[in-house]
Amino acid sequence: MRIDTAVSFWKKDAPSPADEPLILHQDYLPQHLGFVLMEHGLTGVIAIQHAERNPSTPEWLTWMEECTEVIAVVALVTSDSLTFVPEWVTRFPKLKAVRTSLSALANDGQYRQKLIATLNSLDITLEIAVDQALPESCTGWFENAPNQRIVLAPKLTKDEDNGWLDIAFIRAWTNQRPNLWIKLDGLPNLTSTDTAESSWDDPEDAMLDASKAVTFVNQLLESQLTERLVWGSAWPALTAQFTFDEAIDILDTCLQGKPEVTKTKLLGANVVDAYGLSE
C-alpha cells in the first residue's frame, strides 16, 4: 500500500472567495488522479478538507465516500463543528482524522480540552496544522489520552525562517509518544519558485531547486525519525504551482541515496499506523 496523505478536491459550483488563489476555482475532481496514481504505483490518497464552507462538511464527506481513489479523509474541525464529529465518524467510514491548527489549540484551552475528550472516545487521528512554534506545554496536552494518534503537519515556506520547527523537541516528544507522526506535505513550498517551469529531468537542477527540502528531510532522517514520517503531495497547489509528477520528484530528490525501505515507510506502513487504516 502506497498512499499520498495530502490531496484536496473542490468543484466549480462551489467556488472559494475571490481573494483566494485562482487555482481554487478550477474544477479538480478525484478522477483526474487515476492515471498519475497508476503511473507512480500509488494505491490511493487521503483527502484533506480545505475549508468549512460550500460544500458543507457533511456534503464533502458524502462526496469523498463515493470516490474510489480516496482511501481516507481528514475533515476540518472547529469549536462550532466539534459536537458533530461523533456523528460524522458513524456516518462516514472513510473519516479517519480531523484537522485543526496548533494556534487554535494553544490559544483556546477550553476548545483543546473538549476536542481531546471527544477524540479520546473515538478511533480517529488528530492532525495538527503546525502554524506556530510548538509550546513546551503541548507535551502534556494528551496525558489523559495516551492512545490518541497525532499527526503534526508543519507549515513550511521557502522565504521564511522555519527554525520554529524544533526537530530536537519533536524527537523528544516522539520518544514520549509512540503514536506521534510528522507529515511531509510542504516540501514543494521549500523549492525554488521556478519549479513550475522546470522539468525536474536534470538531477543537478532538481537538487539545486530542492536544496532546502533536502536539508529539512535529512535533518528528520538523521534524527532517527524515519518511523514517524508520512508524505503528502499537497497537490493541487494552493499557493505554489507544481505538478503531481514534480511533487513525487521532489520526494525522490530528498530521499536520493537513502534505502528504498525509507520511501516505502513514508508512503506505506507509517501512513497505515498514523491514520489507523486497514492494510
Distance CA 253, CA 247 (A): 10
Please give the single-letter amino acid code of residue 172. Answer: A
Query: What's the chain's Rg over C-alpha atoms?
Result: 18
Residue 215: count of CB within 10 angstroms of its CB: 11
Question: Tens-digit pLDDT profile for the chain (279 aa)?
Answer: 899 998 887 654 444 444 444 444 344 555 667 777 888 889 999 999 877 665 688 988 998 898 888 999 999 999 999 999 999 999 999 999 999 999 999 999 999 999 999 998 898 999 999 888 888 899 899 999 999 999 999 877 766 555 556 788 888 888 889 999 999 887 877 776 444 444 444 444 444 467 778 888 888 888 888 999 999 988 776 555 677 888 888 888 889 898 989 999 999 999 999 999 987
What residues make up the domain containing 66?
A: 3-275
Q: What is the CATH number of the domain that holds 10?
A: 3.20.20.140
Distance CA 87, CA 194 (A): 44
Domain total of the chain = 1
Nearest 10 degrees: Cα torsion 70, 268, 233, 196: -120
